[in-house]
Amino acid sequence: MQAQEFTEKKLPPLSATLQRLHRTLDPSREIPASEFLLELFRLHPEYAGGLAGKLAREEILPIETEHKSSSDWLIQAWSIYDPAKVKVLDGRLFIVGLSLTNTAVQSYLDNIGLFREVIKEVEEQNKTPLDKLLNFDRQPAPESKEDQAGTDTSPFSGEPDPTVLHTDTPALQDQLGREAFAEALATWLSRFWKNSRSKPGNSFIMHLHGAWGSGKTSLLRLLEKHLLPRKQGSRSGNENAPAWIVVWFNAWQHQHLQPSWWSLIETIYKSAHRQLLQQGDTERARAVARLDRRWRLRSGENAYLYALGFSLATFLLLLAWTFFSPADGATSRLVSIANLSKPVLTIISFLTSIGSGIMVLRNNLFSGSASSAQKFMHRTPDPMQNVRNHFKALIEAIDRPVMVFIDDMDRCRKEYVIRLLEEIQTLFNHSAVYYTIAADRRWLYVCFENEYEIFRESIREPGRRLGYLFLEKAFQLSVAMPQMSAAVQEAFLDYLYQGERADISQKLQDEKQAAEQEFAAISSQDELFALLMQSSGNTLQDQVRREAAVRRSAHESIEVATTFYLKKFARLLEPNPRAMKRLVNAYGIYRALAILTHPHLLYDPDVRDQFVLWTILSMRWPLLQDYLEGQPDKLFAFSSGMPDDSMPAEIRKLAESPEVQRVINGDGVCTPLSESVLRQLLDLDTGGLAPGAGPPG
């Protein structure tokens, strides 16, 4: 009876794919939404520019939803559309409809970038914006059984969130200021690369910190847009920056492949080759492909080339035997049989030789399998040096700055996290390669702390635990996700509802252009802050001006002036060559975040100096930073050198440290860090921005 009930439900008009899925999944069985999506991705791996195909290799998607029949999931997704505009529910429309009516699905797909990519494909396919396909007057299908029973537990309010529907609105692409931050990052990174290009040195590793679901992947996509060369007629990209090659590497999806270096090299090669062809650099793309073919051939020569050589030798011997004439009078039956078998054996030998050659090519030139890499490790003398040499040659053949986005590392096992980071610092240590590790810093910290637990007490330094030390050595720059204030978000949503989408887009674009012109001539941070103080009185317009200020703050002239300003703090830094460079980088990032969210912290020169003191303190003693974030009222104990008995032993040592007192009190360089200013700085949620920072102790 239950199966009959399911089959009698009236379904919306479905595409052939969804009809097939509906039958395959058995409508009498209740399944989670993730199972439906996974089967759909396997049928259409091309969705979202191929991202669906990557997910299709997973056994399960980490989406927690209730279980429903396939009929119910289809009806729920269909409920959001206008039947007059959408005649048939297809796979992409199903994904969007399901996401708009289920927050768990939307959160996961949006975090990995698939949701918005599918929206773009839907709009291109239907030649109309998504919001024109929706019917805001229809009551969406309930998201849960509690909703069906009359209890409103669904976060879906009956009208789709406008921020996911206005996909081509500049303010939405900007993600409330994040694009300005991404553009400034792209400018800094391009300048770092230009300045270090002529110097043989190490790779550059940047850490993007944020909790799960904070939008790290979205920020990486914005950064990618400003690293790639600008296409003709497009506003995206940087027309003055070097033409970067941007590589996406999902650590979570690759962690089961061994050896780990193989999948990273393979991903870099494929991405670089494809992008060089797309950018019209066919000569360099061919050079990269030739290098890769030679590498694959060399990596398998010890086994397969021996087999090929043996087959060819056999073939040549039989060929010579075929053309050898027996002595006159040899009429025995054995000789006759041998003569008859010669052509057959020759043909068999020839085919064997050809087959062996094909196997060599298939296994070494085309397969690129992890198993081939494992065999290479076992049969090659000094394999790691060979890998290192090949990677160096590959990057030199690409002859472009390479940015590798390593995403989802905070979902990987500790063994893989440590191994991959160590390989980046050793095997893949090339000055033309930049890496951005997107991960919650607490995950990375715990991985190193647990792996090297035996050394924890002997290696730790005051204010720096073992996990901190590893992260400090691994990353040249740490960046926290920028967060927008509630007031700015509310102003954005109010603005979004004011009119038609085209009008909104044009108004925001006009305001952005005006703000860019306003800040274009600024050449120092003092001038920048003075202009920024002149509020327009409109929350959203002020935010647009802040974004323009962030972009300008990355200009080389302002960085030169900033470096000069920071020199007076050199006496408060550690006595090593990297310290001043780390301060310039960290302060530049802190300043950009403050401009976007708390610009008032930068207007007063005394407060600005205390801003620098807090940056230095965070860099040098992450444990102290964590402690004061929780108890800012204890600042006096550190500035005076008088700890109280309630402090942990490790924190007491810091309170008694003359060096800590020097930094907090400014050591005659500037005004001491005060508790009132500290509390304001703590409102600037940087998430442990300073290089080497880690989670609370």
Q: Could you report the per-residue pLDDT of 654-692, keeping only the tens digit for each? A: 899 999 999 999 988 899 999 999 988 887 654 443 433
Q: What is the mean pLDDT of residues 284-306?
A: 70
Q: What is the mean pLDDT of residues 297-324?
A: 56
CA distances from 277 to 181, 272, 280, 287, 393 (A): 30, 9, 5, 11, 19
Residue 413 reports pLDDT greater than 50: yes
For strands 67-69 and 30-32, give the pairing: antiparallel
Q: What is the mean pLDDT of residues 298-319?
A: 56
- Tell me what percent of the residues of the chain surpass a pLDDT of 70: 68
For the chain, the C-alpha Rg in angstroms (whole number) is 31
- Residue 314 region by backbone torsions, left for phi larger than 0, else alpha for psi between -120 and 50, else beta: alpha
**pLDDT digits over 590-646, tens only?**
888 888 888 888 889 999 999 999 999 988 887 788 888 888 999 999 999 898 888
Residue 142 reports pLDDT greater than 50: no
pLDDT at 159: 41
Residue 405 reports pLDDT greater than 90: yes
What's the length of the chain?
697
CA distances from 638 to 266, 569, 627, 662, 691 (A): 51, 19, 11, 10, 22
Q: In what order do the strands lie in the sheet with 402-407?
A: 245-250, 402-407, 433-438, 204-209, 477-480
The CA distance from 481 to 79, in Å, is 35
In contact, 188 and 592? CB cutoff 8 Å: no
pLDDT at 381: 56
CA distances from 243 to 276, 405, 651 (A): 10, 16, 47
38 token code pair: 């996974």
Side-chain-facing half-sphere of 36: CA atoms under 13 Å: 32
Count Cβ neighbours within 10 Å for each residue of 534-555 and write b for 16 or more, e otherwise.
eeeeebbbbbbbbbbbbbbbbb
**pLDDT digits over 57-97, tens only?**
776 777 877 888 889 999 999 988 988 889 999 999 999 99
pLDDT at 92: 94
82 token code pair: 């206008």
The H or E element containing residue 444 is: helix 441-451
pLDDT at 541: 78
Total Cβ atoms within 10 A of residue 605: 13
DSSP classification of residue 87: -
Per-residue pLDDT band at 367 (split at 50, 70, 90): very low
pLDDT at 193: 82
Q: What is the mean pLDDT of residues 223-243?
A: 64
Give the highest mean pLDDT range of 322-336, 418-432, 463-477, 597-611: 597-611
CA distances from 244 to 87, 164, 218, 399, 619 (A): 43, 29, 19, 10, 30
- Residue 692 region by backbone torsions, left for phi larger than 0, else alpha for psi between -120 and 50, else beta: left
Taken in order 60, 61, 64, 65, is the CA torsion positive or negative? negative
Total Cβ atoms within 10 A of residue 243: 16
Residue 204 makes CB contacts below 8 A (sequence gap 6+) with 189, 192, 193, 196, 431, 433, 434, 435, 476, 477
Q: What is the mean pLDDT of residues 256-264?
A: 77
Per-residue pLDDT band at 474 (split at 50, 70, 90): confident
For strands 204-209 and 433-438, give the pairing: parallel
The CA distance from 481 to 484, in Å, is 10
**pLDDT digits over 434-461, tens only?**
999 888 877 877 777 777 766 666 555 5
Question: According to the 3-state scheme, what is the secondary structure of 197-257?
Answer: CCCCCCCEEEEEECCCCCCHHHHHHHHHHHHCCCCCCCCCCCCCCCCCEEEEEEHHHHCCC
The CA distance from 663 to 651, in Å, is 16
Residue 309 makes CB contacts below 8 A (sequence gap 6+) with none
In contact, 441 and 695? CB cutoff 8 Å: yes
The helix-helix angle for 525-532 and 539-553 (nearest 10°) equals 170
End-to-end CA distance of the chain: 58
Q: What is the mean pLDDT of residues 121-143?
A: 71
- Residue 168 burial class via C-beta count within 10 angstroms: exposed 0-12, middle 13-18, buried 19 and up: middle
Residue 62 makes CB contacts below 8 A (sequence gap 6+) with 34, 108
Residue 462 reports pLDDT greater than 60: no
The CA distance from 690 to 697, in Å, is 16
What does the CA dihedral 661, 665, 574, 691 come to, rounded to 10 degrees? 100
The CA distance from 417 to 229, in Å, is 31
Total Cβ atoms within 10 A of residue 500: 8
**Which is more confidently placed, 572 or 233?**
572
Residue 69 pairs with which residues in a beta bridge? 30
Query: Picking from 28-37, 485-494, 602-611, which range would have the lowest pLDDT averaged per residue?
Result: 485-494
The CA distance from 318 to 345, in Å, is 7
Least Cα distance to 603 among 535, 656, 665, 687 occurs for: 535
In contact, 439 and 194? CB cutoff 8 Å: no
Residue 81 pairs with which residues in a beta bridge? 134
What predicted TM-score, i.e. pTM, was given to this entire model? 0.62
pLDDT at 500: 46
pLDDT at 347: 61
Q: Which long-range CB contacts under 8 A does 267-271 form with residues at least 24 apart?
A: 268/394, 268/402, 268/404, 269/394, 271/245, 271/246, 271/247
- Tell me what percent of the residues of the chain surpass a pLDDT of 90: 12
The CA distance from 590 to 480, in Å, is 9
- Where are the alpha helices (H) located in 482-598, listed in sequence order? 486-496, 501-519, 525-532, 539-553, 556-566, 578-597
Residue whose structure tokens are 């530049």: 588
